[in-house]
Structure 1
Amino acid sequence: MNLNKIAENIYEIKPKSLMVRLKGKIEKFEMKVPVHIYANEYILEKIKQDRTLDQISNVTCLPGIQKHAIALADAHQGYGFCIGGVAGTNATDGMISPGGVGYDINCGINLLKTSLTMKEIQNTLPNLLNTIFNNIPSGLGSKGKLNISYSELDKVLNEGVEWALENDYAIEDDIKHLEENGCLNDADASLVSQKAKQRAIKQLGSLGSGNHFLEIQKVDKIYNKVIAKKLGIFENNQICIMVHTGSRALGHQICTDSLRNIEQAMKKYKIRVPDRELACVPADTPEAQNYLRQMACAANFGFTNRQLITHWLRESFQNTFKRDLDALGLHLIYGVCHNILKIEEHEIDGKKIKLNIHRKGATRAFPPGHRALPQDYRDIGQPVLIPGTMGSASYLCVGKPKAMDLSFGSTAHGSGRVMSRTKATKMFSGTKVKEDLGKKGILVKAASMKIIAEEAPGAYKDIDQVVQVSHNLEIVEKIVRLVPVGVVKG
C-alpha cells in the first residue's frame, strides 16, 4: 500500500485503481477520494499488521463518498469498514452501508463524576465492586433484570432515554448530557423483526461481554483545570465511573437482517463494491430508509441500556455509602455513541452540505459553539470519552474546531486491538492478568477468566499514544487522564 506522509501524524493513500478478486475473477474499482490515516509511526506499524488499510481503501469506492475516508489512530480490521473508520456520503443519493456502523449499534460510553476521592473509597472498594457486580447483569448472553412487555419494548425502541425518565430510571439532567439527548427520532419499532425483539427483550439493562465494561476510575492528571472544572472535575484522585456497552443482540440482529435485504437490493440498483461486506444502497431508497429507522431503534435501546446500568450503579453507590445522589455528586458528565450513522452538515470546498456520516468505532467530537451541544458545554466543546484497557488510562477530552475539517467532527473511540480475541487467549492467562492488575491496585470482577484474557491490556495499542495523535492534530484537547481502580467485565 503506497502511503505518503503529508503532515505530522497524517498519512495519505491517493486515489488509484484497485484490482480485487471477486468470486474468482479480478475486477477493477476506482478510489473516488483519498484515504487519510491519523497515526504516528508506532500506530502505523500496528495498523499495517491487518487488513485495515485495504478496508478503508475499499470504502473510498462507495458511490457518493465525499472528501476522504478516514482511519483514526485506533483503527483495526473490522467487518467491511475498519473499526476506527469514518466516511461521509452525500445525504440525498450517497450510499448507506450497515458495515459502516457495524453489529454493535450504538455501543457507547457514559462517564459519571462523583464528589468522592480515592481515600474515601479505598477500604470499601472490594465491597462496592461486589455490589455493582451483583446488581448489574454481565457476561455473554446475560439477561437484564427487567420484565417488560413487547409493547413496552417498542416504547424503548421509539423513545430511548425518555422512556427511562418516565419510569424513574433517569433524571432530567441525564437527558441533556447525552448525545442526541438519548434518542434518535427517526426510530420505527414496527420495522424491527420479531426475532430481533425476542433477542432484545430479556437483555435490556445488561452489560454483555467482550470489551464492554463498567470501570471505577480515579483522576490521575488534569491538563486543563478551567475546562475540567466546568465538567465537574476538581482534583486528582477524584472518583469517576465509565459505563461501556451497546445494543446487545438487538443491534446484531438488525444489522444481520438489514445486510441481507441490502445485499439483495444492490442488484436492483446496479451497485458494485469491492467487498460484499460493504453492501450498500442509495440513501433515498426504501431499503436505506428502512435500515436507518431500525438502526435508530437499536441506538435508542443502547442509550436506554446504558441508562439503566447508570441507574443501578447509582443505587449501588447509595447503598454502599448511605448517601443520596447529590451528597455523592454522582452525576453524568456526558454520554457518547461509537457505532452510529448520523445525517450532519459539513463544509466541503467552501459549501455546507448534508452527509451520511458513518462512524464505526469512532466518537463524535464537535467543537465549541456547535448547536448540537448542551448549553453548559457549548463554550468548551463536546466532552469526548476515550477509554483504554482495564490496565491503562482513559481520557476525557473536548472536541476542537479542526475536527470538523480533518475528521467530520470525529476521533478515536478507544485504544484499538492489535490482536484477535482468540490470539489473546493463547498469549495471556486470565488468572495471571488479574493477579498483575491486582498488584497495580486494580481490582477486577469478571464473568470468566477467558474474558480477562481476551481483554488483556497487551491485546490493545497504547492509549496514551492514540489520544496524543488526536491531541497533536487538534481534533481534541486532552482535559483529564483517568486510571482504573475497580473493573467489572462482561
Structure 2
Amino acid sequence: MDLQQLHQIQPYLWTFPLKSGESRKEVLLYGGRALLESMDDKVLEQITHVASLPGLVGAAMTMPDAHWGYGFPIGGVAAFDAEQGGVISAGGVGFDISCGIRCLRSNLNLQDVEPHLSTLAERLFRVIPAGVGEEGFLKLDTKQLDQVLLGGARWAVQQGYGSEADLEFIEERGCMSGAVPANVSELAKKRQRGEMGTLGSGNHYLEVQVVERIFDTVTAQAFGLQEAQIIISIHCGSRGLGHQIGTEYLVSMAKAAARCGIHLPDRELACAPIKSPEGQQYIGAMNAGINCALANRQILTHLTRETFMEVFPNSELETLFDVSHNTCKLEKHEVEGKSRMLHVHRKGATRAFGAGHASLPERYRALGQPVIVGGSMGTGSYILAGNRDNPAFASASHGAGRALSRHQALARWHGKQVIGELAQQGILIRSRSMRGVAEEAPGAYKDIDLVAETTEQARLARRVAFLKPLACIKG
C-alpha cells in the first residue's frame, strides 16, 4: 500500500482523506508503517467502499493484520445503527461464520509433554477429523441439527461434550440468542450433518503450544498462565453450514439492496437494512451459524481432552476463553458521549472488551477479556487482554493476516519442505494435505510479533503471553 495517499493521525493510526465529491464516512487504518506498506491496495479500496454504506456509525476501520477478503477486507470493522437505516452485510461477516479460537490451558508443562510429543501428535491426528469435506463421528438428522443451531455449546455440554464450567468462558456463554434454524436452508443443514466436531481445512488447526514468554504478570496470573505451561488452541468455525448461509444470503441481500435503493460500490458488499425482512432473516441464520461454530469447538474440546487423557492420565484442560472472529453482534457502545446500540461487523477481527465489562467472566472482569491472536504453524500465537479505552468498538486483531495469497504460497513452497523445516525447529506438523501445508506456510503470513506489538501500541489490546507451537494438526 502506498502510504503517501494516507494521512497519519497518530503513530499507529492513519486515515484516507476524503476526495472532492465523496460522500462516504471516515476510513481509519490501525497499524505501523511496515504493516501498512505490506498490505495490498485492495484493502484500502474495500474499506473505503464499506465507508459508503448507509447507517455507518463512526469510521470504517481495519486492524493491523488486515488483508484482502470478500466484501469487507479481512480485519475490517464497521458498526451500523438500525435506527438510522443501518445495514447488515454477509460480506462483512464472512463465509465461515463465527470462525474463532478456543484456547485451553493445561496443568502440564513442557517437561511433561516433550518426551511424548510425537505420540500425542499422532493420536490427535487420528482422533481430530480435519480436511476438506472430512466428517466426524456425529451424524445428525435435521431435528437434531436444529437443536445445535439453537443451543450452541450449551447443547454440546448437555450431550456430554464438556461441562458447565466451559460455558462461563465462551462468548455469549456458549449460546447466541436470536438464532432461527428455520432461516437456514435444507442444503446448508445437509452440508453440516456429518461435520460437527471437525476442523475443516485452510487456516484451521488444532495446535499444542507452550507459554514461552509472559509480558504482563498480573494479567497472566488471572488468566491462569505461566511460563513453560502447555496450551491448546483450536481454530475452526461453522464449516459447510456457515459457508452455505453466506452464499445464499448474498443473493437475497443483493435483491434487497436494489429494492431499497442502496448503491453498492462493489457487488460483494451486498447488504440489507437491518430492519428489513431480508436483514432480519439473515441475522436469524447468522446467529444459528454462530451456535453451530460454538458447538463445533466444544465437541473438539471434548475430543482433545479424551486424547490427552490417553497420553497423560492426570491431565486437566480448562477453557481459558473462546472468541469468534467472523460475526455481527448487537452491542452497546459509547459514541460521542452517548450510549448507542450498534450492530458491529467484525470480519477477521476479534471482540476485545476491556476491564469492567458486564459480559466478561468474573475471573477476568477486573483486567479485560482474553484476546487470542493466532499464528500459522511455525509463527507462534499471542494471548492479549482487552483495553477499556479501545477506540475501535472494542475490536482487535485476530491473527497474523496473510502476506501472500494461497496461489503465491504454492508457487514458493512445497508441503514436505515446510514440514521438514519446521521439524528441524522442533515443531511437528500432521496433515492430510501437502497442498494445504504449503498454502499455510509461516512465510505466507505477516510477522505475528509485529502484529501483536502494533495491536498493543494502537491501544486495541495489550500483550499478556507468547505461545510457541509444538505440534499442529492441519486439514
Deviation sequence 1:201-256 (CA, Å, 0-9, x none) = 1111100000000000001101111211111112x211000000000010010011
1:7 is the counterpart of 2:7: no
1:82 is the counterpart of 2:85: no
Equivalence for 1:466? 451
1:100-179 equivalent positions in 2, closer than 5 A: 100-179=92-171
The answer to whether the Cα contact below 8 Å between 2:25 and 2:51 also exists between their aligned partners in 1 is yes
The answer to whether the Cα contact below 8 Å between 1:343 and 1:356 also exists between their aligned partners in 2 is yes
- CA–CA separation in structure 1 for the residues paired with 2:271 and 2:437: 36
Equivalence for 1:21? none
- CA–CA separation in structure 2 for the residues paired with 1:154 and 1:74: 35
1:425-464 equivalent positions in 2, closer than 5 A: 425-464=410-449
The answer to whether the Cα contact below 8 Å between 1:14 and 1:33 also exists between their aligned partners in 2 is no
Equivalence for 1:238? 229
Query: Residue 477 of structure 1: CA displacement?
Result: 1.1
TM-score (norm 2): 0.98
Equivalence for 1:24? none
Equivalence for 2:261? 270
- CA–CA separation in structure 1 for the residues paired with 2:20 and 2:471: 50
Query: Residue 91 of structure 1: CA displacement?
Result: 2.8
The answer to whether the Cα contact below 8 Å between 1:31 and 1:57 also exists between their aligned partners in 2 is no
TM-score (norm 1): 0.95
1:40-439 equivalent positions in 2, closer than 5 A: 40-47=32-39, 49-92=40-83, 93-234=85-226, 236-323=227-314, 328-403=315-390, 406-439=391-424
Letter in 2 for 1:300: N
Query: Residue 422 of structure 1: CA displacement?
Result: 1.4
RMSD: 1.1
- CA–CA separation in structure 1 for the residues paired with 2:65 and 2:178: 30
- CA–CA separation in structure 1 for the residues paired with 2:310 and 2:316: 15
Letter in 1 for 2:228: N
The answer to whether the Cα contact below 8 Å between 2:31 and 2:458 also exists between their aligned partners in 1 is no
- CA–CA separation in structure 2 for the residues paired with 1:330 and 1:262: 42
- CA–CA separation in structure 1 for the residues paired with 2:137 and 2:54: 44
Query: Residue 474 of structure 1: CA displacement?
Result: 2.0
- CA–CA separation in structure 2 for the residues paired with 1:456 and 1:56: 27
Query: Residue 39 of structure 1: CA displacement?
Result: 1.1
Q: Which runs of 5+ in 2 are unaligned?
A: none
Query: Residue 17 of structure 1: CA displacement?
Result: 5.4
- CA–CA separation in structure 2 for the residues paired with 1:169 and 1:275: 42
The answer to whether the Cα contact below 8 Å between 1:31 and 1:60 also exists between their aligned partners in 2 is no
- CA–CA separation in structure 1 for the residues paired with 2:20 and 2:230: 52
SS of match in other structure, 1:208: coil
Deviation sequence 1:370-396 (CA, Å, 0-9, x none) = 111111111010000001121112001
- CA–CA separation in structure 1 for the residues paired with 2:152 and 2:162: 11
Deviation sequence 1:174-223 (CA, Å, 0-9, x none) = 10100111111100111211000000111111000000000000011011
Letter in 2 for 1:332: T
- CA–CA separation in structure 2 for the residues paired with 1:428 and 1:17: 45
Query: Residue 442 of structure 1: CA displacement?
Result: 0.2
Query: Residue 50 of structure 1: CA displacement?
Result: 4.1
- CA–CA separation in structure 1 for the residues paired with 2:203 and 2:313: 31
SS of match in other structure, 1:124: helix
Query: Residue 441 of structure 1: CA displacement?
Result: 0.5
- CA–CA separation in structure 2 for the residues paired with 1:17 and 1:421: 37
Deviation sequence 1:406-451 (CA, Å, 0-9, x none) = 2100001101001111111111111111111001100000111111
Moved more, 211-220 or 417-426: 417-426
- CA–CA separation in structure 2 for the residues paired with 1:443 and 1:480: 21
SS of match in other structure, 1:357: strand
- CA–CA separation in structure 2 for the residues paired with 1:67 and 1:199: 38
Deviation sequence 1:279-312 (CA, Å, 0-9, x none) = 1111111100000000011110000101101100
Letter in 1 for 2:112: E
Equivalence for 1:482? 467
Query: Residue 31 of structure 1: CA displacement?
Result: 4.2
Query: Residue 400 of structure 1: CA displacement?
Result: 0.4
The answer to whether the Cα contact below 8 Å between 1:108 and 1:245 also exists between their aligned partners in 2 is yes
SS of match in other structure, 1:315: helix
- CA–CA separation in structure 2 for the residues paired with 1:17 and 1:31: 9
Deviation sequence 1:437-470 (CA, Å, 0-9, x none) = 0011000001111111000011000011111111
Query: Residue 127 of structure 1: CA displacement?
Result: 0.7
* Percentage identity across paired residues of the two chains: 42
Equivalence for 1:35? 27
Letter in 1 for 2:290: A
The runs of at least 4 aligned residues of structure 1 exceeding 6 Å deviation read: none
Letter in 1 for 2:406: R
The answer to whether the Cα contact below 8 Å between 2:157 and 2:298 also exists between their aligned partners in 1 is no
Query: Residue 115 of structure 1: CA displacement?
Result: 1.2
- CA–CA separation in structure 1 for the residues paired with 2:257 and 2:27: 24
Distance change (3 Å), C-alpha of 1:71 and 1:17 = farther
Letter in 2 for 1:117: N
SS of match in other structure, 2:103: strand
Letter in 1 for 2:190: Q
Equivalence for 1:26? none
Q: Which runs of 5+ in 1 are unaligned?
A: 19-29
- CA–CA separation in structure 1 for the residues paired with 2:380 and 2:75: 19
